[in-house]
Amino acid sequence: MNLKGKIKSIGNPKTFDSGFSVRECVVTIEDKYPQDLLIKFFKDKIEKLSAFKVGDFVEISINLRGSSYNDKSGNTKYNTDIVGWNIQALETTNSQQQPDRDLPF
């Protein structure tokens, strides 16, 4: 699945004692009702975010990951994560709307 949007924030990489690493970014999906989505990049994929900055328009390839756990009351709770595995730049709308130029031929 792919998402297209504008990068709102990029977090710093976090590495845990176990060696596991994660880096998060927030992307605003521009739709009729814009949504800010938190996307997590894990392990070797975190470096892919280094080429981007806040304000960039991107397309991110994602997977949805879910897990469940029992709270203190014994009720089952669910978590859903959006996990990015690839990211690429998109041209902005402004650059796509360049005026047509008259060519000499």
- Is there a domain that residue 9 lies in? yes
Report the CATH number at residue 13: 2.40.50.140
Helices marked H in 1-105 — which ranges?
Answer: 93-96
Q: Indicate if the pLDDT at residue 96 is higher than 50.
A: no
CA distance 76 to 50: 37
The tokens for 92 are 């902005």
| Structural domain of 54 | 2-92
- Is there a domain that residue 105 lies in? no
- Is there a domain that residue 102 lies in? no
- Is there a domain that residue 103 lies in? no
- Is there a domain that residue 16 lies in? yes
pLDDT of residue 97: 44
Number of domains comprising the chain? 1
pLDDT class for 98, splitting at 50, 70, 90?
very low
The tokens for 86 are 């690839």
- Is there a domain that residue 104 lies in? no
81 or 105: whose pLDDT is higher? 81
- Is there a domain that residue 7 lies in? yes
Q: Indicate if the pLDDT at residue 24 is higher than 60.
A: yes
CA distance 55 to 73: 43
Q: Indicate if the pLDDT at residue 3 is higher than 70.
A: yes
- Is there a domain that residue 35 lies in? yes
The tokens for 49 are 């975010």
Q: Exposed, middle or buried, 13 (CB in 10 Å: 0-12/13-18/19+)?
A: middle
pLDDT, tens only, 47-93: 999 999 999 999 999 999 999 999 999 999 999 999 999 999 998 65
